[in-house]
Amino acid sequence: MSASEMAFENEFHHSRTQNSCVARAISYLIHMKLSTLVLILIFLLILIPLMMHYYVSQILVHQTQVAQKAHPLVTNVDLNSDSSAHLKGRIDEMNRIKNSVSNELLQLEAKRNKLHQSLETYSGRVDELKQQLSRLQLEYERLKYSVERARAAQLEAAERDTPLLARPRPLRAEPGPRPALEPPPAADRRRCTLPECWDYSLCPITGGFSFHLYRPLSDASDAAASRLLEALRSNVQWRSDPAAVCAYVLVVGGAPEPARLQRLLTAAEHWSGDGRNHVLVAASAPAAAALDSVDTGRAVLVRTPDAGAPPRPGFDLVLPSVDGPLQGVPWQTLPPLVPARRPVLVSFQGELAADQRWARTDELTSSLQSLSQSHTRDVVHAEFRCPEDAPAAAPSPVSAAAGGWRLCGSAQQRSERLGNATFALLLPPGGAVLQRLTEALRAGAVPVLLGEWPLPFDGVLDWRRAVLRVAEPRVRELHYMLRSLTDGDILSYRRNGRELWEHYLSSAKAVSDALLTQLAERLELPPPAAAAVPAQSVFNDTFQRVTVDVQLSTLDLDEYLGPIETPHASAAYQRNLTTPRLDSYARWNLFLAPHRLYPAVPYGDVLPAEAKFVGPRLGFRPVAAGEGGSGKEFSESLGGNSPHEQFTVVMLTYRREQVLLSALGHLYGLPYLNKVVVVWNTPEPPAETLQWPNVGVPVEVVRVGKNSLNNRFLPFDAIETDAVLSIDDDAHLRHDEIVFGFRVWREQRDRLVGFPGRFNAWDTRFGGWHYNSNYSCELSMVLTGAAFFHKYYAHMYSEWMPQVIRDKVDEYMNCEDIAMNFLISHLTRQPPVKVTSRWTFRCPGCPVTSRWTFRCPGCPVTLSEDEEHFIERHKCINFFSRVFGYMPLLNTQFRVDSVLFKTRLPQDKQKCFRFI
């Protein structure tokens, strides 16, 4: 047996032995009692921890001995031994090292603080240098663009072939009397026209229209003549010096004797033989008859069309009924425009004398009587004899001279009757046709004129928009024609008629102003320039304001919005001659303001797109010279459909100097800004210690007569641009929002363009209107705390709008923004335009996607947060709608964002605005 085999056999026997031992142990445990097994386990649990504790303690003792051998200082020593001196020296050495390290740490801390202070100083210096660099860059851009603009202006001036115009200057007196001329024969007098019978040499285009008023030829009891005379004297074109006027006006009233009238005319100081450039106003029918019986030469006659001979076309003027007050509109007595249909469909009440009845009149009346006998539910009041409770009125001078249908009852009775009628009939023959027209327009009954009849200011007023003319042969079809009109048609007729009555027929002043303006327009003369409010500075001539530089906001520096330009004014009075011609219809019938010449108007035709590139550039700055582009090219030019221009900021303030200065500082570096006009409503002048920010453009602080919110919309002569940004001193707008709003306004020049939106809500329980600032998908107003509008509307607000509205604004010290919304919507019949961005400064809790408010953080509580403020605004809306006769506000359901907003662009393109 080999060794390996023996080893294997031994190992085999050993494993068998172990296996047998294990088997025996398992068999023993199986047969062992449970109590014995528990005792063994308890013994093991006690023995094992004791053994572990012993061995661990031995390890700790060994480690302690090792540590004592390695560090003898920590061993137990005898303090009385010789080594105590050595230990004390070691301790002193350690204390010295500790003090040295502490001193070194203090020195390092001081050095660190010094370095930190130096770092802060240099960081501040870096910020200052960055601000200085930004200002220098802006100044460089301004100079660079100024040079480019100067070159463009030089090129345009070289290409310009038309003279610049300015406001008309007054006419200078010519020395010496005018030569006397023989009056024309009677036959030629009936064929007079302005080119043949008017001396144009007294009316140069550059001098405008003016007139001298003779002493009246009328009885003191003639009320109409007295009102006309006083109204003429209040006209701005009246001159007391007769040597430098274009026309001479004589008011003839009462019943003058023809012989006496002839002598007075011939002896008139400036009659010059033929009466050229004279205007004879017949304030009564007898006066008109007297003028027909005398030689009036080449004078223009102003009278009612049913008194005497018919008016000469293009020469004579039609005088309407002058039954109203001297001036003003009695709006309290006017009915509302709605509902469209009233209880009575059509109304007529009158009486014709027996000797004036003829066959056609009988046929006409019988046809009208059949209307009331129709089988419809329409109520027709057609009475051709005055009832007992409304007897025929005493014949007026007009009806006494010309006959016709006489009026029935008093003026109050006729007003109540017409107030219940949808339509009012005007029947020939004349008599009181013009008086019936005036009463119908005032009561809101649409006039229905049967046949042809000269109406007041027929050459300039479009009576088709207010009067329904029907040929007499169609009288049998009248009922069907009236029923075919929709509610919208009726309300359009009624609204247009009320506007014509208010502005041209309601008072003696309205009538006289319209007569003079129509005559001047026939002579191709521009009206007088609208008066601008002088901007008187709150500072005297010797006062020097303290100015400081401002720091630009990071938000306004991150995006290039346009070049910084030198201020330049918008072109003014460039359409002095074309306005009375080309815009005559709009001035008389749409904007209802023909009596003044304004620096610019928000309406007018837009030039064809080729005009920007073919011929003179006319001030246009197309994007990328016409090639277009994305954000980079867009920001370099203003583009659009109008010539290049700027805007003026008008900021109203009252006793909030620091808030004002902060708001002014925010305007620094704003592109296209021309000037800032601060309306100082505070009675006290500004403190001399105020530090005014230098915003890069002129800042004019204007003193006003009283603290009124209407001052926000005064047409100051300091405003030299068409675009006006009205903004509160506590409003906070980013530069990109302002520039975007300006660009939008340039495409909507006749509308109000702003940021915060509001709407007028109908009270479904009690009726009437409520001012509502809640979230809504419809808007009807934008607040003028941040809104663009045309300067033209400042004139209209301060001069044209009813005075009672401005008085209500002063009474409540509120609602001026609502009044401006009413005015513009009334004139344009369009809603305002709301512009917004997705990232704005907002009130707590407002969503970040809409600018419903923009009050600056930390500003004091404003009036708009007062509950009484909202109650007053509810009252204002209902009051203004009563004055206008209807609710002019219109709803809009969209807001305006830039073209590429939320558009995915390639890497090499930029959006028009980063956040808008």
Local structure of 104: helix, strand or coil: helix
What whole-number distance in Å separates Cα of residue 243 and Cα of residue 220? 28
* Residue 884 contacts residue 808 (beta carbons within 8 Å): no
Residue 421: beta bridge partners?
Answer: 344
What whole-number distance in Å separates Cα of residue 234 and Cα of residue 230? 6
* Residue 435 contacts residue 306 (beta carbons within 8 Å): no
* Residue 350 contacts residue 365 (beta carbons within 8 Å): no
**DSSP per residue over 120-184, as a string?**
HHHHHHHHHHHHHHHHHHHHHHHHHHHHHHHHHHHHHHHH--S----PPPPPPPPSSPPPP-PPP
What whole-number distance in Å separates Cα of residue 792 and Cα of residue 827? 12
What whole-number distance in Å separates Cα of residue 383 and Cα of residue 346? 11
Of 554, 537, 493, 603, the closest CA to residue 824 belongs to: 603
Name the helix (H) or strand (E) containing 728. Answer: strand 723-728
Helix axes 867-884, 803-812, angle to 10 degrees: 170
389 is catalytic: no
Of 248, 353, 362, 252, the closest CA to residue 308 belongs to: 252
What whole-number distance in Å separates Cα of residue 816 and Cα of residue 173? 44
Q: Residue 312, Cα to own-chain centre: how many angstroms?
A: 44
* Residue 696 contacts residue 669 (beta carbons within 8 Å): yes
Token pair recorded at residue 595 = 């009596």
Backbone angles phi, psi at 28, to 5 degrees: -70, -40
At residue 508's C-alpha, the angle toward residues 205 and 528, to 5°, is: 20
Residue 302: beta bridge partners?
Answer: 281, 317
The count of C-alpha atoms lying within 13 angstroms of the C-alpha of 14, restricted to the half-sphere facing its C-beta, is 6
Among the options 817, 866, 897, 908, which is catalytic?
A: 817
Residue 378, Cβ neighbours under 10 Å: how many? 16
Of 729, 667, 738, 758, the closest CA to residue 859 belongs to: 729
Amino acid at 835: V
What whole-number distance in Å separates Cα of residue 447 and Cα of residue 442? 11
Residue 909, Cβ neighbours under 10 Å: how many? 13
Q: Residue 256, Cα to own-chain centre: how many angstroms?
A: 53
Burial of 44 (0-12, 13-18, 19+ CB in 10 A): exposed
CA 578, 582, 588, 592 torsion: positive or negative?
Answer: negative
Residues assigned a catalytic role: 817
